[in-house]
Amino acid sequence: MTVKSGKDWYRLFFYGACMGAADLVPGVSGGTMALICGIYEELIVSIKSFGTVDALSLFWLDFKRFNQKVGWKFLLTVLLGILFSLVIFSRAIHFMLGDPVWRTYLYALFLGMILSSIVICIWRVPGWSKRLWWGLAVGAASTLFFTGFRSEPLLDQQTYQVKLPFKLGYQGDKQLVNYDKETGLLKGLDAQILEAMWAKGYLNSDSMVAEQSSQRLLRLGDLMQKGEESWFDPWLFFCGAIAVSAMLLPGISGSFLLMILGAYPVVIAALAELVKGWTAFTWDGEAFTVLINLSLGIGAGAVIFSRAIDWFLKKDHDLTIAVLIGFMVGSLRVVWPYRTYAWGLDPLKLKNGPQLIPEGFYQPSIWDAMYWKSAIFMVAGLGIVFLIYTMSENVKKR
């Protein structure tokens, strides 16, 4: 969809807002919404255009060529919609994610949206053969494999506990799985989390931490000793490329993969340090280096991965779409609304108080009121997607 009129702009802005709302929900990908809205292929082509020689025409002041060859209008409109959702809906979705009942309703809504989008995308592919069904199965299995990991680093790491140097001010009666109110000990922390807590000001170099396995005491400043620093970090570059690649694929969350790779706390810490420096009119070169490496990886990953997807779409369009549909099928596990929860503290958001921690899945009885209430939200999700589909089909007929 090219941006030729005000209606096109509003429509793309709305689709971008849908993508932004999806990105706010853990485990849900904006790429899923792009596929639902029917703009996925053009999104890939537009991102790919920034990796061509034509994109350099902006630096040569050849604005006419840049305007004709690069899909900047499309991407800018979608990006504005994404940013709109992040600003407007973040508080509401944060509230829903923090309440076990509303969280169930929210995931039921997305379950309905993804189920209906799977049906619609299957409709869009004519003549399903065994080869296409195998492609769908491979896509589903791949997503199940990646989302089957716990949101923890892949490598086995030493975990630590630390006594917080301040009172949380939490007076509730919830039993917290990673915090002892009597001793003030916060447990189950790896080195990246400790570094991020130090960056956010929760801890300092003199804070004492204990290895949970041996109870050996260590000074945080000694634990965080680093070797020679370099301006380029291949690992962060790789993490950025992998994260944005996941965001472009339906069914896989980029932030979830950052957690698995162990880079999420590092990125959060760098953001905290940079913001803290700005407010104090100081400059943190190390934090800036972390974010630059990640950003370079994101930029390179977006261009390279979009070219790869575009090549697959041109080489075998229907098989590629079948695999993408499979990614959505595999993501159904992530948005299953009926879960058991525990309460715990997010080490990087201590001021927010107890947070819900998903533990397992369950199937409610059909006589359970929660079952029928969540079913209403699921039906609403189905209706929303079919409405979006009808809108996109009407646009194509014009």
Distance CA 95, CA 232 (A): 38
For residue 234, is pLDDT > 50? yes
pTM: predicted TM-score of the whole model, two decimal places: 0.74
Q: Write out pLDDT tens, residues 166-220.
A: 776 655 677 888 888 778 888 888 887 887 788 777 888 888 888 887 888 888 8
Specify which residues 160 forms β-bridges with: 189, 211
Q: What is the DSSP code string of 142-172?
A: HHHHHHTS-SS-SS----EEEE-SS------
Distance CA 350, CA 343 (A): 13
Q: Quick one: pLDDT band at residue 395, thresholds 50, 70, 90?
A: low
Distances (CA, A) of 154 to 91, 151, 213, 258: 31, 9, 19, 11
DSSP 176: B
If you average pLDDT over residues 358-376, what whole number do you get? 87
Distance CA 194, CA 66 (A): 46
If you average pLDDT over residues 22-39, what whole number do you get? 75
For residue 226, is pLDDT > 60? no
More confident residue, 30 or 152: 30
- Please give the pLDDT value at position 134: 96
R_g (Cα) of the chain, nearest Å: 23
- Cβ(233)–Cβ(291) below 8 Å: no
The residue extents of the domains of the chain are 6-153+232-397
Quick one: three-class SS letters along 354-397? EEEEEEEECCCCCCCHHHHHHHHHHHHHHHHHHHHHHHHHHHHH
Distance CA 63, CA 304 (A): 24
Q: What is the DSSP code string of 84-97?
A: HHHHHTHHHHHHHH
Q: Write out pLDDT tens, residues 85-134.
A: 877 877 787 788 788 899 899 889 988 988 888 888 888 888 899 999 99
- Cβ(321)–Cβ(121) below 8 Å: yes
If you average pLDDT over residues 281-285, what whole number do you get? 71
Q: Which helix (H) or strand (E) holds 311?
A: helix 285-315
Nearest of 234, 250, 242, 233 to residue 302 by alpha carbon: 242
- Cβ(69)–Cβ(54) below 8 Å: yes
- Please give the pLDDT value at position 290: 80
Q: Quick one: pLDDT band at residue 380, thresholds 50, 70, 90?
A: very high
More confident residue, 68 or 359: 359
For residue 3, is pLDDT > 90? no
Q: Write out pLDDT tens, residues 135-172.
A: 999 999 988 887 665 555 444 567 888 887 777 665 56
Q: Write out pLDDT tens, residues 304-339.
A: 888 888 898 889 989 988 998 898 888 888 888 998
Instruction: Read off the amino acid at residue 129.
Output: S
- Cβ(295)–Cβ(239) below 8 Å: no
Q: Write out pLDDT tens, residues 32-76.
A: 778 777 788 888 888 777 766 556 665 666 666 666 666 677 888
- Please give the pLDDT value at position 228: 47
**CB neighbour list of residue 36: distance below 8 Å, 6 or more residues apart:** 18, 113, 117, 120, 121, 385, 388, 389
- Please give the pLDDT value at position 64: 67
- Please give the pLDDT value at position 377: 94
